[in-house]
Amino acid sequence: MKTYRVEEVDGDSVVAGRSINANTPWVAAEMATGSEVTNARGDEQRWIRVTNEASGAVNRYAFKDRR
């Protein structure tokens, strides 16, 4: 497993963050937020940044639409 820093972001401000051990950044995002996410991040106000703590690779996700 890898360690990821998962941050919930509102605009440009980090509102929550924690480290998660997971196999993929996608799974880390869902584990940390308790919500389904999508990699189709557009211009959402609230979004999730996942950083691989070893390599520094960054992934960005949006919360999945809950209609």
Assess whether pLDDT exceeds 70 at residue 33. yes
Assess whether pLDDT exceeds 90 at residue 43. no
Query: Comparing C-alpha atoms, which of 10, 58, 46 is closest to residue 28?
Result: 58
Joined tokens for residue 18:
């924690």
HSE, CB side, 13 Å, CA atoms: give it for residue 20: 22
Whole-model pTM?
A: 0.91
Q: Residue 39's pLDDT is what? A: 85
Residue found under tokens 């820093």: 5
Q: How many residues does the chain have?
A: 67
Q: Residue 66's pLDDT is what? A: 52
